[in-house]
């Protein structure tokens, strides 16, 4: 009898997952592919158009604006966040630093605010006349305190990148710290005996040691950046900023599907986004040579 239950038990235990996956995973995936071949207005009226949504998307200037903005954001965030978070992790990983845990907590603390509430806070920090940023820039460098960060086209993306930097640097640092602590200390001793300097040690011991985590963080940050929505939406509103300077891919999806009611076009935008994210991840893995090792 116990043997029998042990045989059926795992299936029963997994039943909620399987059921929920079928309803809220598999079905929407299939349905989303289908939807992308339709023009819809709301969940009721639908009209089959084949590949038209995708063809239209390729010629849709607004979509390309969104792609450009999103790519700028992703590139800016990854290029600034990763070196900074790795640098901080290296500093905090030194044994002779006092208050390591305090620093670690402080660097992580913006993350406790969460994306949405950070955006609400930065809405006021970035405000032109009474915002903290302008006040600080004025006090430190004598810059005018009237900079309109969120209504000057060229400043919108830098502002978003800055908020993301504030929010996620400490989060990535936690990953890097964990990776650094897992690097075998004896390797450093051996390198020192061989006469390797700090830079040589970093290149030949540290970097190879943390490579899997480094790649993990790069790929994850890129994927996450490509799904930027909340920051842009909360800081800029439905209109996506001056000259659509803050229009991101997911925001464009939202505008078409949920303000415009065309779920079909939204689905096509979604799959195009998925394809871009997949390609980017593959390229990044290829460049770093991750696939080869596994084989």
Partner 1 sequence: MRRMVVYTLLVLFALLCLVPIAWLAASAFKANADFHVYPVLPPVDRLTLANFTSLFTQMPFLRFMMNSFFVAGATVILQLFFSSLGGFALAKYDFAGKKTVMGVMLATMMIPGPVLLAPMYELIYHMGLIDSHLGLIVPGMVNVFGMFLFRQSMLSVPDEMLQAARIDGCNEFQIFWHVVMPVSRPIVGAFCLIAFMGTWNSFLWPQIILQSSDRFTLPIGLNQMIGVYEADYGAMMAGTLLAVLPVVALFFLLQKEFIAGLTKGAVKG
CA distances from 103 to 91, 97, 115, 260 (A): 10, 10, 21, 46
Residue 51 interacts with partner 1 (CB under 8 A): yes or no: no
Q: Are 272 and 54 in contact (CB under 8 A)?
A: yes
Please report whether residue 143 would count as binding partner 1 according to CB under 8 A. no
Determine if 106 is a binding residue for partner 1 (CB under 8 A).
yes
Residue 43 or 154: the one with the smaller Cβ distance to partner 1 is 43
Q: What is the C-alpha separation between 289 and 283, in angstroms, rounded?
A: 10
Token pair in block for residue 154: 């060229």
In whole angstroms, how close is the CB of 200 to partner 1 at the nearest point? 18
Contact stretch for partner 1 (CB under 8 A) within 67-75, 147-155, 262-270, 287-295: 262-270
Q: Which of 130, 160, 123 is nearest to 145 (CA)?
A: 130
**Could you say which of 37, 54, 166, 188 contacts partner 1 (CB under 8 A)?**
166
Cβ within 8 Å of residue 167, ≥6 positions away: 110, 111, 113, 115, 118
114 is an interface residue for partner 1 by CB under 8 A = yes
9 interacts with partner 1 by CB under 8 A: yes
Q: How far apart are CA 290 and CA 293, in angstroms?
A: 6
DSSP one-letter code for 229: -
Check residue 26 and report its DSSP letter: I
User: Is residue 54 at the binding interface for partner 1, with CB under 8 A as the rule?
Assistant: no
Q: Does 196 bind partner 1 (CB under 8 A)?
A: no
Q: Whole-angstrom Cα distance, residue 140 to residue 223? A: 36
Of 57-65, 90-98, 188-196, 285-293, the window that binds partner 1 (rule: CB under 8 A) is: 90-98
Contacts (CB under 8 A) with partner 1, residues 211-230: 212-213, 216-217, 223, 226-227, 229-230
Structure tokens at 220: 């994850």
Shortest Å, Cβ 141 to partner 1: 15
The contact pattern for partner 1, residues 17-46, with x = CB under 8 A and - = no contact, is xx-xx-xxx-xxx-xx--x-------x---
């Amino acid at each position: 009898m116990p043997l029998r239950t042990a045989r059926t038990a795992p299936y029963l235990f997994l039943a909620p997952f399987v059921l929920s996956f079928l309803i809220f995973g598999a079905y929407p995936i299939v349905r989303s592919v289908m939807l992308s071949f339709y023009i819809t207005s709301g969940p009721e009226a639908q009209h089959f158009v084949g590949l038209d949504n995708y063809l239209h998307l390729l010629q849709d200037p607004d979509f390309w604006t969104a792609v450009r903005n999103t790519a700028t954001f992703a590139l800016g965030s990854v290029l600034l966040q990763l070196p900074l978070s790795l640098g901080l992790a290296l500093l905090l990983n030194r044994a002779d630093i006092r208050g390591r845990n305090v620093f670690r907590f402080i660097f992580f603390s913006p993350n406790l605010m969460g994306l949405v509430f950070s955006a609400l806070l930065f809405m006021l920090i970035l405000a032109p006349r009474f915002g903290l940023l302008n006040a600080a820039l004025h006090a430190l460098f004598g810059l005018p305190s009237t900079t309109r960060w969120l209504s000057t086209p060229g400043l919108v993306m830098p502002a978003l990148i800055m908020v993301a930097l504030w929010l996620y640097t400490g989060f990535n640092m936690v990953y890097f710290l964990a990776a650094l602590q897992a690097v075998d200390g004896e390797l450093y001793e051996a390198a020192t005996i061989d006469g390797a300097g700090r830079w040589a040690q970093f290149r030949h011991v540290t970097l190879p040691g943390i490579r899997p985590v480094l790649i993990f963080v790069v790929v994850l940050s890129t994927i996450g950046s490509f799904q930027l929505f909340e920051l842009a939406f909360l800081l800029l509103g439905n209109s996506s900023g001056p000259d659509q300077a803050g229009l991101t891919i997911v925001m464009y999806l939202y505008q078409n599907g949920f303000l415009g009611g065309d779920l079909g076009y939204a689905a096509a935008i979604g799959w195009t986004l998925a394809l871009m994210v997949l390609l980017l991840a593959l390229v990044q893995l290829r460049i770093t040579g991750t696939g080869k090792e596994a084989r």
